[in-house]
Amino acid sequence: MSVLLTGAAGFIGMHVAESLLARGERVIGVDSLNAYYDVRLKRARLARLEGRPGFTFLHADIADREAMLPLAEAHSDVTRIVHLAAQPGVRYSLVDPFAYVEANVMGHLVMLELARRLPRLEHLVYASSSSVYGGNRKLPFAEADRVDHPVSLYAATKRAGELISESYGHLFGLPQTGLRFFTVYGPWGRPDMGPWLFSEAILEGRPITLYDGGRLKRDFTFVADIVAGVVGCLDHPAPAKAPRVLNIGNHRSVEVRRFVAVLEEALGRRAVVVDAPRPATDVEETFADIEAIHALCGYEPRTPIEVGIPRFAEWFLSWRKGG
């Protein structure tokens, strides 16, 4: 039996693949290796997986149905899917909106069509986002909250994926769990996210921009905690006709300026800070209610930023020196 993992060369995907392989799973990793950010980083992540017993890589775009749908026959032993591939980033959706609809809506649909063709499918776990909560002011964000006022196209495409999954659960009985990821950070993170951008600027003496004086708050979640939740959910299939959506976060809301202060300490340098108004695509605060995922699989994040940020900084410094 095998696990099909999309986004295998991605930040979270690589870590999930390593966790599955470590416990003896066979993993079929899929990734398009697109150029949204430096492909060298994606290939370096992939190099950590290739050659390991049980790992197979397929270079393919999840939105390409001619490439993806035949996998149902070629890999009919797949019993579980972890679908993480997507077009990420909130602000980039203002630059290339078509990329989001192609990857996050069409790509999600293709994966559902593939899933329903697999004869032994037990569970599909897919990545949604805390962005679906939009400008909600009730905290912490809970799965029962309204999510019909997205403030970015990225959020709208992620909510669309949830709704399509709901319909496929009803129509075809696909057992599915959607995970609303909050702000994930850690080693091998993405160059378009705050920890990387802040670190690079601090080390090069360039200013960093903190919106609203750094008072925006985020539920920063260390990647190892996220992986434990993803794998835990994978091991607890949803009922066939009852797709579920769960938060997966740290259940702590931290001001961005506090995050930067810990990062400064880890890097041994002070940041040059520039203040700016909050962009329309950004919300004031994110904060995950994680009672449901805890009840399902015992999910309990254990890594505060005072531990997680130094781990990221150590990796980042090593990466800058050439790995």
| CATH assignment of the domain containing 231 | 3.40.50.720
pTM: 0.96
- pLDDT at position 320 is 94
What's the chain look like in SS3? CEEEEECCCCHHHHHHHHHHHHCCCEEEEEECCCCCCCHHHHHHHHHHHCCCCCEEEEECCCCCHHHHCCHHHHCCCEEEEEECCCCCCCHHHHCCHHHHHHHHHHHHHHHHHHHHHCCCCCEEEEEEEHHHHCCCCCCCECCCCCCCCCCCHHHHHHHHHHHHHHHHHHHHCCCEEEEEECCEECCCCCCCCHHHHHHHHHHHCCEEEEEHHHCCEECCEEHHHHHHHHHHHHCCCCCCCCCEEEEECCCCCEEHHHHHHHHHHHHCCCCEEEEECCCCCCCCECCECCHHHHHHHCCCCCCCHHHHHHHHHHHHHHHHCCC
Clarify whether 154 is annotated catalytic.
Answer: yes
Q: Which domain holds residue 19?
A: 2-254+260-320
pLDDT tens across the length of the chain (323 residues): 899 999 999 999 999 999 999 999 999 999 999 999 999 999 999 999 998 999 999 999 999 999 999 999 999 999 999 999 999 988 889 899 999 999 999 999 999 999 999 999 999 999 999 999 998 889 999 999 999 999 999 999 999 999 999 999 999 999 999 999 999 999 999 999 999 999 999 999 999 999 999 999 999 999 999 999 999 999 999 999 999 999 999 999 999 999 999 999 999 999 999 999 988 878 889 999 999 999 999 999 999 999 999 999 999 999 999 86
**Tally of structural domains, the chain:** 1
Catalytic hit among 92, 154, 185, 299: 154
